[in-house]
Amino acid sequence: MREGIALALIPGSAVFLLLIPGSGIDRQPPECYSLVGYVVPCNAWVALAAAAATDLLVGLAFWTNDRRNQHGDDKRADQ
């Protein structure tokens, strides 16, 4: 279970790093750039919310898969 939690945090961290604004230009409207160089929203909460949503979705997928395997509902084992 702990491995699943650690693995679920990796995609969320990647989303956070890709969306966090690294620099910006102060004009109307302001334009912010990611650490890689493409345009992203200037508010850092957007990156944090997207990372949290990604972590929740990946964690839910891992939890569902573990639960399915524990209850014997995995049809792949029969093949």
At 22, the amino acid letter reads G
Contacts of 16 (CB under 8 A, 6+ apart): 47, 48, 50, 51
| pLDDT tens track for 13-51 | 999 999 999 888 888 888 899 988 899 988 889 999 999
Helical segments of the chain, H only:
2-19, 44-70
Domain ranges of the chain: 2-73
Residue 52 has pLDDT above 90, yes or no: yes
